[in-house]
Amino acid sequence: MKHRTFFWFFLPTGLAMLLFIALPIVSVLFQSVHTPHDAVLVTVENCGPFGCKEETTIDQEATRALRDAEPLGKFVGLQIYFDRGHLAVSEVAEAWRSTDSISGFLSEINDLPFYRAMAFTLTYTFTVTPLLIVLGLMIALAVNSLNRHLKGLVIFFSLLPMIVTPLIGSLILFWMIDSRGVLGSALQYLADDPTLSLKASTGLTWIMLIVYGVWNSAPFAFVVFYAGLQTLPQDQLESAQIDGATRWQRIRYVVIPHLMPLVTFVALIQLMDNFRVFEPIIGFNAEAHATSFSWIIFNDMGGETRLLSSAATTSVLTILGVAVLLTPVLIRTWQDFKGKT
Amino acid sequence: MKFTHIALASSVLAFAATAGSACEISARVNIVGNEFPAIHSVADAAKECTGGEVKANLTADHQKINVAGMTGNPAEYTSAIIANSSIVALMNEDVIRPLDDLVAKHGDGLQKTQLITIDGKIMAVAFMANAQHLVYRADVLEEIGVEPPKSYEDLLAAAKMIREKGIMENPVGGAYKAGWNLAQEFNNMYLGHGGSFFEPGSAKVSINNEQGVAALEMMKSLSEYMNPDFLTHDSNATNTEFRAGNVALMNMWGSRAATLADADGVVQEVKDHMAISGPLTVAGGSDAASTLWWDGWTVAKNIPDAEAEATFIALTHGIRPEMLNEETAPQAVWLIDGYEPTDAAQGVFEAVQMSTSPYPMLPYMGLLHTALGAELSDFMQGKESAAQALADTEAAYTAAAKEKGFLN
């Protein structure tokens, strides 16, 4: 494509990206270094059905004057980034000084909301992503070797988990794994332990969320790999067969290298998706056991007293996290691209 | 059965609309509020008004949308139905208007106790009172030969006997879902122990003390008699457990007591033997381990005066004495003229008589509530000590209060 043609072709997309992606990120960055003004508090008398009481309230006149003077709020620099809700610099330093073993230090750190969310988010991302790629590949290979009359039906059923919205899917499973639900009761019977409850233990909740994540995303990997399998070089496969390669050797040395660019693609998309895990935590009511960065943002924005600066800061940190996470995959993609040209 | 019920209700409504005071409004009304039967009844009565469209969005997520929905100019919602906790968020953002002139013009039917005045200005009109109190199974207590408990200590003893007799494995219910519900249970228990949340006249929190630890220890002891999934059970899920006959004793909202036994599939013994009584005390104290609430409505600030007037007229119509009938009267402890308490109201009435503390209307109480909801679950799971959980809560609250400008 000529550069000029490309420019006009890309312009609308570029403008939309600037407007809907770049500008909001700038706005979030801006909000994360500002906080609301100091509240001017006054003591007043409140009366209601249960009598009168002296209580504190916000002096709206005085607060409005402050707001009008500085409409953006109070500039605080990186204060929110370093407070206890986020990087918790002073708490981490204190934990480092006061503990004498690594495990003691880690358990202190795990008490801080940001690091606790990070522990779950990273565990989730780095177990779900490889598992769903392997599972997706296995399903794709299995479906590809089926009789063609069966294929349509099996493909349809394999895709079902992806068709269900994550929130609805997790809610349905939430009730099924309840200690009085179908799956929960079955597990209690199998484990011969009537007190077994998946929702009451942190370890089991994590496993449940990870299994759910793999179940929900494997169809995506499956579809991509299945499409890739339709373009397999038949002559290579045949010559490998003539040379006496087993089925496993053909997969290992012909099929997987052929699918490698697709594996990179799936890994890229799924790393990003899994890093912002959110719906299963809400659906499974799992916030007592597992939280994620997205959940923290939701919690800050949804509360009665909204912590918008805090939510903005967590958003910026999430964007940075995604960038770090994707760097190796992006470097690999770039090298592949350069290698081809 | 269901159909005749609906038909009866609508004919009552139709009768009220024709025979009762006519309601004429001239502008739009749009209400946002929580979702339970009493609020539905108020909104339905407000919808009888003619001349302008009356819409209502009643949802459990109301607190997440009401501030945003009233901030624009003109605001999307002309009224938010709130309680003494959630009015604070609207006051903090300055999105509701004083109602003095409207009360003078259209508020003849309202009683003095219904008017919520803050700093001398009427900011809301209350229509019901609410509190958490004991709901129990009379037949189960009879079987073990125990009087209905008056304190949490009695409740624990009864729960122990129920389990030992093999009647129920987890006889205690409680809305202990991590987040808002768990924090509210702590508030109740902490006030029952005589604690106070903040240093007097300041936004500085002080809950990491003897009363705080004792409150948490009691919650832990109760949770040992609950369904092991208690950290995922909100008041809806707890009611479901009670309806299924799995629970014999629980601390539950008065606004849910009247309708507790009428859902589909409620076990017959639960229907026949459900009983309620006042809130429990704890640790030998005389203060109820509960909080008093009122629910009421507000009018948005950023709307034309015509809409504010229409909203006031429609909602005053929604809570007029004639809206009380056989169906609506048991739904709540109404603060409306002419309301005769029904059996279902007994628990809340006892709460009022025991001079239970009202939920504090402080600008920073919401931040503490949120911090409690997030930080207490570790203790409830046995992962850390009570003092550690309270220290974490204080730290989380302090960070949030600094960000919001309440603390320096």
Q: What is the pLDDT of residues A24-40, one digit of tens each?
A: 999 999 999 999 888 88
Rounded-to-integer distance, Cα B117 and Cα A50, Å: 12
Q: Give me the pLDDT at residue A48, please.
A: 87
Q: Which of A55, A85, A304 sits opposite B396 (nearest CB)?
A: A85
Average pLDDT rounded to a whole number, residues A225-243: 91
Are the beta carbons of A46 and B116 separated by less than 8 Å?
Answer: yes
Rounded-to-integer distance, Cα A51 and Cα B402, Å: 31
A304 neighbourhood in chain B, CB within 8 Å: 63, 85-86, 88-89, 366, 369-370
With 90 as the cut, is the pLDDT of residue A54 above it? no
The per-residue DSSP string of A145-210 comes to TS-HHHHHHHHHHHHHHHHS-HHHHHHHHHHHTSTTSHHHHHHHHHHT-TT--TTT-HHHHHHHHH
Are the beta carbons of A310 and B370 separated by less than 8 Å?
Answer: no
The answer to whether A43 contacts chain B (CB < 8 Å) is yes
A309 neighbourhood in chain B, CB within 8 Å: 403
Give the torsion sign (CA, A283, A286, A287, A288): positive
SS3 B251: strand
Rounded-to-integer distance, Cα A125 and Cα A59, Å: 46
Are the beta carbons of A53 and B358 separated by less than 8 Å?
Answer: yes
| Alpha carbon separation from B267 to A334, B127, B133, B137 (Å, rounded) | 65, 32, 22, 12
Q: Give the gap in angstroms from C-alpha B136 to the nearest C-alpha of chain A.
A: 22
Q: Give the gap in angstroms from C-alpha A337 to the nearest C-alpha of chain B.
A: 46
Greatest CA separation found in chain A? Answer: 93
Domains of chain A with bracketed CATH: 113-340 (1.10.3720.10)
Q: Give the gap in angstroms from C-alpha B28 to the nearest C-alpha of chain A.
A: 27
**Pair B301, B94: CB distance under 8 Å:** yes
| Alpha carbon separation from A90 to A93, A95, A298, B372, B382 (Å, rounded) | 5, 9, 25, 22, 26
A64 neighbourhood in chain B, CB within 8 Å: 94
The β-bridge partners of A161 are none
Are the beta carbons of A48 and B352 separated by less than 8 Å?
Answer: no
Rounded-to-integer distance, Cα A127 and Cα A277, Å: 13
Average pLDDT rounded to a whole number, residues A300-314: 86
A62 neighbourhood in chain B, CB within 8 Å: none
SS3 B10: helix
Are the beta carbons of A111 and B114 separated by less than 8 Å?
Answer: no
A38 neighbourhood in chain B, CB within 8 Å: 405, 408
Rounded-to-integer distance, Cα A210 and Cα B377, Å: 21
Digit-by-digit pLDDT tens for chain B (408 residues) are 444 444 444 444 444 444 456 789 999 999 999 988 899 999 999 999 999 999 999 998 888 889 989 999 999 999 999 998 889 889 888 899 999 999 999 988 898 889 999 988 999 999 999 999 999 999 999 999 999 999 999 999 999 999 999 999 999 999 999 999 999 999 999 999 999 999 988 899 999 999 999 999 999 999 999 998 899 899 888 999 999 999 999 999 988 887 888 878 889 999 999 999 999 999 998 889 999 999 999 999 999 999 999 999 999 999 999 999 888 888 889 999 888 888 888 899 899 888 789 999 899 999 999 999 999 999 999 989 999 999 999 999 999 999 998 988
The answer to whether A36 contacts chain B (CB < 8 Å) is yes
B406 neighbourhood in chain A, CB within 8 Å: 39, 41
The answer to whether A114 contacts chain B (CB < 8 Å) is no
Residues near A91 by Cβ (< 8 Å), separated by ≥ 6?
A: A84, A112, B395
Rounded-to-integer distance, Cα B204 and Cα A279, Å: 35
Tell me the one-letter amino acid at B7. Answer: A
Are the beta carbons of A56 and B404 separated by less than 8 Å?
Answer: no
With 60 as the cut, is the pLDDT of residue A273 above it? yes
Tokens of B319: 């809570």
A195 neighbourhood in chain B, CB within 8 Å: 228
Q: In this predicted model, what pLDDT tens digit does every residue of A135-190 receive, in sequence order?
A: 999 999 999 988 888 888 888 888 888 888 888 888 888 888 887 888 888 888 88
Q: Give me the pLDDT at residue B337, please.
A: 86
Are the beta carbons of B398 and A84 separated by less than 8 Å?
Answer: yes
B363 neighbourhood in chain A, CB within 8 Å: 39, 41, 56-58
Are the beta carbons of A288 and B377 separated by less than 8 Å?
Answer: yes
**Strands (DSSP E) along chain A, which ranges?**
34-35, 41-48, 51-58, 74-75
B201 neighbourhood in chain A, CB within 8 Å: 43, 56
The β-bridge partners of A78 are none
SS3 A25: helix
The β-bridge partners of B117 are A47, B122
Rounded-to-integer distance, Cα B136 and Cα B133, Å: 10
Q: Give me the pLDDT at residue B21, please.
A: 61
Are the beta carbons of B388 and A111 separated by less than 8 Å?
Answer: yes
Q: Which of B94, B118, B384 sits opposite A44 (nearest CB)?
A: B118
Tokens of A31: 């909000």
- Count interface pairs A-B at CB distance under 8 A: 156
Element housing A115 (H / E): helix A113-144
The answer to whether A35 contacts chain B (CB < 8 Å) is yes
Q: Name which of B169, B232, B383, B407 to mutate to probe chain A: the one with the most chain A Cβ atoms within 10 A of its Cβ.
A: B232
| Alpha carbon separation from A225 to A212, A254, B201, B322 (Å, rounded) | 21, 14, 65, 67
Instruction: Quote the pTM value.
Output: 0.86
Give ∠ CA B125-B133-B288 in degrees, rounded to 5: 90
Tokens 């005589």 found at: B194
ipTM: 0.84
The answer to whether A70 contacts chain B (CB < 8 Å) is no
